[in-house]
Amino acid sequence: METKVTTPQIKGLIISLVLIVYGLIIYFVDGMKHPELSYVQYALFLAGIIWACVSYSNQLNANVTFGNLFAHGFKTTAVITVITLIYTVLAFKVLFPEMVDKSIEMTRQKLEASGKVTDSQIDQQTTMMKDHFTLFAVVGIIIGSAIIGAVSSLIGAAVAKKKPQDPFGNQAI
């Protein structure tokens, strides 16, 4: 009986849901004031991709190559990126539009506390940030996901068992 291999789409959906639920928890407990909590989200992303690679290897009885594992991890990353982008745009535009204002206000407070920037510069930066917030978020998600996905796919491909079978090695002539 052949084992069923879980697709990158299913794994990406599962990991995305975990990341979104964690993000919602942070939002509802007012964790946005603690940016260090975002490192947990990065760790979940990293661990999820590594899990996807190791799981893929186990489902195929380690009959995989480094390249197969890396590709599987990066396909999973692509799915996570798309789902996260859709959620982020919906969150900023429909579900939690006040999230943008909270983020801009936190940035304003940090700039004022630093004392290195004038009031007019703070106003300019926050106005630009408000006008282009979604664009910055989308670009940040794409670049961040690509970097974290590539690193975690490399780690996952490196740690997963690999015993590829040579399809031409055991042929009788």
For the chain, 173 residues long, give each residue's pLDDT as a single digit of tens: 467 888 999 999 999 999 999 988 988 887 777 778 888 999 999 999 999 999 999 998 888 999 999 999 999 999 999 999 999 989 888 888 888 788 778 877 777 777 777 778 778 888 888 888 888 889 999 999 999 999 999 999 999 988 877 666 665 55
- Contact present, 70 and 157 (Cβ < 8 Å): yes
pTM (2 decimals)? 0.83
**Could you tell me which of 84, 92, 90, 95 has the C-alpha nearest to residue 13?**
84
Domain ranges of the chain: 8-96+145-159
Q: How many residues does the chain have?
A: 173
Tens of pLDDT along 25-54? 988 887 777 778 888 999 999 999 999 999
Residue with tokens 């982020």: 88
